[in-house]
Structure 1
Amino acid sequence: MKSCVDHMLDMELVSPLGVRVVVPTQLLYRTQDPLAVELLFHNSVHGLTPWIFARDLLTEGTRTPSGSGDVRIWPTGSRPTSLLHLLLSSPHGSAHLTAPLPAVERWLCRTYRLVPPGSESDALDLDTDLGRFLDGGR
């Protein structure tokens, strides 16, 4: 059984002055962590920068402004040129990124075909994880 859904796309980092810089980004979903999505930002200087947050948050953000704190997501525009905005914050600063909304929605649909909504707990192997934890992580 397939355990991962990934997709490469170019996101744009938007500066406060409106300058846009292309950031190659890998969208990654794994059945081992069925509640989360991971965005891997490729940077020639710093290598990969990962951001992990709830798949449900990303899904909600494709329809309406969502999130608070470290991750805020909202859609703008109309098809086929609609955009998804992500505002990511950390103690080191914040980043405003945009991505083509239709591409993100298609990838999310693939994740839901792999692990349907409401069945995320079925994809978790809690017995194995609990056994490892109780055995000192071995």
Structure 2
Amino acid sequence: MSGRVFDTDDEPGCARQGRGHRQGGHARRDVEPEPVTCRTVVALFEGEETLPVVTDLRYDSTHPYSVFVAFNAGTDMVVEWEFGRELLTSGRRRLAGHGDVQIWPAEIRGHGLVYMSFRSGGEKFVVAASAVVIDEFVKRAVEAVSHGEEGGFLAMESFVGQLPGEA
């Protein structure tokens, strides 16, 4: 990572950590989980200033419909958000989201950006990430689990076993 507010190197810090990568992303529950992580720096808008914040994007085939975004603003506290993978994908094309998370694309001086707005109670913050980084992250998440095949990765047996009265 270059340390710039937007890391747009050819390899934007994304990695597939699982063993047993599947060509074509065919869904199978008997395959090792495939976590995908991407570390980058986003711009956090605070009043008139932008602050660089180290951010980890994470996707795991054990939670096939979700992505996780963890912000580390250089303190002991890391703020993590979970939202739908489809929301991130849709937000690359147009404004997406109606509630606590909204995502939309932009281009400034020839650089593609992805804005993300997060709201919790009365608090709200907005960050901008490199579209190159987001695109690479989404691409690798789809390689791990293809769109439409997420259901094959849900551990329903484990879920049903946790329901009251089920053993």
TM normalised by structure 2 equals 0.75
**CA positional deviation for 1:133:** 2.8
- State the identity as a percent: 25
**CA RMSD for the aligned pairs?**
1.9
> Deviations for 1:73-103, whole angstroms, at most 9, x for unmatched residues?
1000179611000011111410010000111
Aligned residue type for 1:14:
F
Q: 2, 6, 10: which one pairs with 2:41?
A: 10
Partner of 2:8: none
What is the aligned partner in structure 2 of residue 112 from structure 1? 142
Deviations 1:38-77 (A, max 9, x none): 0011133242110000000000001111111201110001
Query: In the TM superposition, what is the alpha-carbon distance from 1:2 to its structure 2 partner?
Result: 4.4
Residues 27, 135 of structure 1: CA spacing in aligned structure 2 closer, same or farther, 3 A cutoff?
A: farther
TM-score, length of structure 1 as denominator length: 0.90
Alignment counterpart, residue 119 of structure 2, candidates 64, 89, 96 = 89
Which structure shows the bigger proportion of residues in strand conformation?
Answer: 1
Secondary structure of the 1:31 match is coil
Report if aligned partners of 1:80, 1:102 keep a CA contact under 8 Å in 2. no
What do the CA deviations read for 1:103-132 (whole angstroms, capped 9, x no partner)?
111110000010000000001111122113
Higher relative contact order (CA 8 A, sep 6+): 2
Cα separation, partners in 2 of 1:95 and 1:78, compared to 1, 3 Å: closer
Check the 8 A contact 2:33/2:62 in 1, yes or no: no
What is the Cα deviation at residue 135 of structure 1? Answer: 6.2
Unaligned runs of 5+ in 1: none
Mean Cα displacement is larger for which, 93-102 or 75-84?
A: 75-84
- Return structure 1 stretches of 4+ with deviation > 4 angstroms: none
User: How many residue pairs align between the two structures?
Assistant: 136
State the match for 1:55 in structure 2.
85
Distance in 1 (CA, whole Å) between partners of 2:100 and 2:73 is 20
- Equivalent positions of 1:23-62 (< 5 A) are 23-62=53-92
Higher helix share: 1
- One-letter amino acid matched to 1:40: A
